[in-house]
Structure 1
């Protein structure tokens, strides 16, 4: 390919392969390897893969890749504590495509946690473990399991240099756990501690998913603009195993908090998804989606202007030119990718409006929508769901809301029991958090309590003595979010 020689060594391991009590270990391991090299490759530890990219003289790139492989074969983890000290938590949020301003309240991460629980992509909601708590033995075992020759692929923009050897440890292609998806009897919505609404459906990977996702995004953006809702959308296609995807859209609302109409935005999400199951799209709409995917950024008038203003048009053009190479690497490395490749788009071009509507009809019953707490979107055809609650409060220490919390209208209480914490609402409803599943997140003066089993999160800031929770949850479940 034109341009400087570029090689990317990618491993099929990412955040989906971590344990809830080892979150961030892939990021720590990859960054430690990077800091041990004299070269400075671009390193990314995302949801599905971890990659190292080097550009320059082919012989030098080969030497640096050989050094990287040798480090993986015999890692020196004596400086792991220093690497942990230098980690930037925002890097992990960025690589996972989470909301950098409020990653723990990212709506797509909430949907995945609710649907998948503490497995696979369902882990994205939770901040990483304090890297100082991860031991050298854990990192060494993680490298040995996932960073092997059988679990890697190398893509190059030119012939592999003669000096390239890649002395990686032997090992098979690693198997990824399939996340059990929690379904419902029909479309449902719930409220959570999120910054904006989002919607997901359970889908089958393939060209229908590509068209439905892009069509939904295009229509929602247009409907938001017509309704004068200041927002933009992010399309998501997240593999959960067995050719299955969580497919959907999350929103980013702009403007001051009181000016953000989450209820209207949520209704638009549901309205446009349901309309896809009722009305066939026009052939022109489908052709436009395929055309926009295949043409280069410079050929897209709207996108070109945005990229030129950001000064990244050249890099976007290069990325577009290399997309077939990246797609080939994904097909070799991953069971199902979170990106749609040329083969799926070519297949999408052969589908008709009836195919897209049939997919929407099939997937609509699995629809799940999240809105911020306190928002009632009044969604026709969607039932409200939520975490299990009761009305019986066990004995324990009662933490009362502070004056500041009461001034915000709170009339609830927090009961600390021996093996659980209970949030008691003003109407007597009790939301119980078993300590074995509890996650305590402290950030920006806030204290948030999560349940990794249900995937939910509540704000418990402003209860007198809430810091006592720090001693109740397991040490690795106390997370400090720095986003």
Structure 2
């Protein structure tokens, strides 16, 4: 029957397809994505996907690959024989990887990464989850700098197995289909653990934009809420006040049970003073009353029409592959339609209430002073008393502050606040050849250590490197010399700073007078008074030294 999902098994790999007459497409899915990568290995899966597909595509047989939050896929379209050959060759490579093109693909992905900028969804994931789990998508692919053949080979062996794979097809399995993968088990889905921070809250986002996000139990009602949020922002800012445009929404799985809903809109500068209050009002209406009943019904009817009319082979096998790998149920078209049709205003209202409990809102940086929300920015203060070796700024005494490097943590105190990094709570240590270090905490906050900014800075860097496990270190290429932070304080600045203090120049005058007294003595004069003056001179010098050290 056309449109009916079928299943089979090839070499121990589940296969799902829908009968059709279109050109055959195949998508080999594996349970493993960006959320499974520790920050020092973020990008390893992307690198393996590129290496596996290197030089395999053609006009006759187009190919593609992707790494999402929870899955990695290898896609191909073509004649049945071409599909069979592609899947066999890719599985052979995944089972016994060849890394002759490692440096080439590493350079390609670095070039790609250099042009990529974190979008609003990436930023919300980072602020919500920090530098681990789903939050790593907001960071550069640091794994491109740490990847080596042995590590990649072990990573591939753990992921690309028959027990961790599902194949989706747009037609029945072609004759001769083989999936020669090694034995292995399904990779479990780790629960996405958010940072320990008070919510609802806001943070400074992208210029000229607004976005809100919240995590809800994955459900059809949650998807309806995402669309309702988009309509609410569009109605309030575009059709209402006329200060916004291009509203959008997304629904991103963060683990097997939950999804992050994000909605946003670009806005004009004149919207800044009231943007937070207006957004909170949109959310308040959804929490208290839910979406307009007629609008919701129209929205659900449109979804039902989409499910009924969109060719099943375009989405049903892929949805089945995703759910099987996540341990969920595989629903058919009738079950999905019934689920959408049963959604009520109350269901969406409850989802909105759940979203509010963990709401994050990002706005143009010029709008973060709105008192309607608590604003995130500075790292949570640590109550621990810093212990260890202490370093003063290279620009001291013009620049105040102190760096403390201990066996278990590092701390920086400046006029701008205090930043701490406990080594056992780090996600990564970014290391530059010039000695610059970024100690990235699991909550996403970081301590930046630039040796040129501190007296005996290289000594501080050596102590940090010795205390942090090598597995966390990310060796980076050299930085542009113009981008390496340097102390801007000169001896002239220091002298001017000191001479502005009355206690310094008064002490200098006294010191001059005392010295003059010592030098103007006459021959045969009693030396006792001069000895007393010498003692006074030493005391003045010591007092001056203590004043300068403050």
Which TM bucket (shorter chain)? Answer: 0.7 to 0.9
The worse-fitting range, judged by mean Cα deviation, of 384-393 and 157-166 is 384-393
Out of 443, 453, 472, the residue aligned to residue 442 of structure 2 is 453
Q: Which residue of 1 aligns with 2:39?
A: 20
**1:190 is aligned to 2:209:** no
Q: Is the 8 A contact 1:6 1:54 kept in 2?
A: yes
1:32 is the counterpart of 2:69: no
Q: For 1:101 and 1:234, how far apart are their aligned partners in 2?
A: 20
Look at both structures and tell me which one has the larger radius of gyration over its CA atoms.
2
1:388 counterpart = 2:380: yes
Matched, 1:279 2:279: no
Contact 1:422 1:433 in 2 (8 A): no
- Give the match for residue 156 of structure 1: 169
Which of 334, 356, 365 aligns to 1:364? It is 356
Instruction: State whether structure 2 residue 243 is matched by structure 1 residue 229.
Output: yes
| 1:425 CA displacement | 4.5
- Which of 42-51 and 111-120 deviates more? 111-120
Match of 2:474 among 449, 473, 476: 476
- Is the 1:205–1:244 contact (alpha carbons within 8 Å) kept by the matching residues of 2? yes
Task: Provide the residue aligned with 2:530 in structure 1.
Answer: none
Q: How does 1:418-433 map to 2 (within 5 A)?
A: 418=405, 420=410, 422=412, 424-426=414-416, 429-433=417-421
Structure 1 residues 230 and 276: alpha-carbon distance in aligned structure 2, compared to 1, 3 A threshold: closer
CA positional deviation for 1:20:
1.1
Alpha-carbon spacing, 1:376–1:85, altered in 2? closer, same or farther (3 Å): closer
- 1:101 deviates by 5.8
Distance 1:41 1:25 in 2: 20
C-alpha distance 206-246 of structure 1, shift in aligned 2 (>3 A): same
Query: Aligned residue for 1:97?
Result: none
- Compute the displacement of 1:212 (Å): 1.1
Contact persistence 2:130–2:445 (CA under 8 A): no
Q: 2:154 aligns with which of 115, 138, 141?
A: 141
Residue 355 of structure 1 pairs with residue 347 of structure 2: yes
Structure 1 residues 427-474: Cα deviation after superposition (integer angstroms, max 9, x where no partner): xx32334567376889xxxx996744222479999x968998998676
Deviations 1:188-242 (A, max 9, x none): 2133465444322231111221111111111112212023334434423333335
Gaps of 5+ in 1: 94-99, 300-316, 402-410
Give, in angstroms, the shift of residue 250 of structure 1.
4.1
Task: Give yes or no for the alignment of 1:4 onto 2:17.
Answer: no
Q: CA separation in 2, counterparts of 1:48 and 1:56?
A: 27
Determine the C-alpha separation between the residues in 1 that align with 2:315 and 2:143. Answer: 35
- Find out whether 1:241 has 2:241 as its counterpart: no
Aligned-residue offset at 1:354: 2.0
- Once the two structures are superposed, residues 249-284 of structure 1 have per-residue CA deviations (whole angstroms, 9 ceiling, x without a partner) of 244x367xxx37455444333321221011232222
Q: Report the CA distance between 1:373 and its aligned residue.
A: 4.4
* SS at structure 2 position matched to 1:241: coil
Residue in structure 1 matched with residue 487 of structure 2 by the alignment: none
Secondary structure (helix, strand or coil) at the match of 1:33 reads helix
Where in structure 2 are the equivalents of 1:115-130 lying within 5 Å? 115-129=128-142
| 1:81-480 matched pairs, under 5 angstroms | 81-88=103-110, 90=112, 102-103=117-118, 106-129=119-142, 131-182=144-195, 187-192=199-204, 194-195=206-207, 196-225=209-238, 226-241=240-255, 243-251=257-265, 253=266, 259=269, 261-262=271-272, 264-295=274-305, 322-335=314-327, 343=335, 346-373=338-365, 375-380=367-372, 382-385=373-376, 387-389=379-381, 395-398=390-393, 416-418=403-405, 420=410, 422=412, 424-426=414-416, 429-434=417-422, 437=426, 451-456=440-445, 475-476=473-474, 478=476
Offset of residue 6 of structure 1: 0.9
Q: Structure 2 vs 1, CA of residues 397 and 62 (structure 1 numbering), >3 Å: closer, same or farther? A: farther
3-state SS, counterpart of residue 179 of structure 1: coil
Question: In structure 1, what is the equivalent of residue 516 of structure 2?
Answer: none
State the TM-score, normalizing by the size of structure 1: 0.75
Secondary structure of the residue aligned to 1:118 is coil
By how many angstroms is 1:374 displaced? 5.1
Change (3 A) 1:476 1:184: closer
Alpha-carbon distance, 1:130 to partner: 5.2
Q: Report if aligned partners of 1:63, 1:163 keep a CA contact under 8 Å in 2.
A: no
**Structure 1 residues 275 and 101, CA gap change in structure 2 (3 angstroms):** farther
When residues 359 and 342 of structure 1 are mapped into structure 2, their CA distance, relative to the original with a 3 A threshold, is: farther
Q: 1:378 to 1:372 in 2, by over 3 A?
A: same
Cα distance in 1 between the residues matched to 2:358 and 2:29? 33
1:238 alignment partner, SS class: strand
Q: Is the 8 A contact 2:213 2:260 kept in 1?
A: yes
Q: In the alignment, is the contact (CA less than 8 A) between 1:223 and 1:268 conserved in 2?
A: yes
**2:88 is aligned with 1:66:** yes
2:98 corresponds to 1:76: yes
Contact 1:264 1:377 in 2 (8 A): no
Measured in 2, the distance between the counterparts of 1:83 and 1:276 equals 47
Q: What is the aligned-residue RMSD (CA, Å)? A: 4.1
Once the two structures are superposed, residues 29-59 of structure 1 have per-residue CA deviations (whole angstroms, 9 ceiling, x without a partner) of 1101111646652111121211111111111
